[in-house]
Amino acid sequence: MNHARPPVVDLTQVTLAYPSPDGDVPVLNGVDLTIDTGEIVAITGPSGSGKSSLIAIIGGLEPISEGTAHVLGLDLALQNERARTLLRRRDIGIVFQAYHLVPSMTALQNAALPLILAGEDGAEAKATEMLTRVGLGHRLGHRPSALSGGEQQRVAVARAFAARPRLVLADEPTGNLDQQTGAVVIETMFDLARSSGTALILVTHDPALAARCDRTLKIETGRVVP
Q: In the complex, what is the shortest distance from the CB of residue 226 to other proteins, in angstroms, rounded to a whole number?
A: 27
Assess 94 for contact with other proteins (CB under 8 A).
Answer: yes
Which residue from 1, 102, 125, 225 is in contact with other proteins, where contact means CB under 8 A? 102
Question: Quick one: angle between helices 123-133 and 107-117, nearest 10?
Answer: 130
Which has the closest alpha carbon to 17: 222, 224, 226, 225? 222
> What is the C-alpha separation between 216 and 212, in angstroms, rounded?
9
Q: Check residue 123 for interaction with other proteins (CB under 8 A).
A: yes
Q: Contact 4/10 with Cβ under 8 angstroms?
A: no
Cα separation of 41 and 44, whole Å? 10
Residues within window 162-181 making contact with other proteins, judged by CB under 8 A: 171
**Which part of the chain contacts other proteins (CB under 8 A), choosing from 4-12, 101-109, 179-187, 211-219?**
101-109
For residue 74, state whether it binds other proteins (rule: CB under 8 A).
no
Residue 117 phi/psi, 5-degree rounding, is -60, -35
Does the protein bind other proteins through residue 205 (CB under 8 A)?
no
Please give the Cα distance from 10 to 32 (Å, whole number). 8
Interface with other proteins (CB under 8 A): 18-19, 52-53, 56, 59, 61-63, 81-82, 85-86, 88-90, 92, 94, 96-105, 109, 113-114, 116-119, 123, 143-147, 149, 152, 159, 171
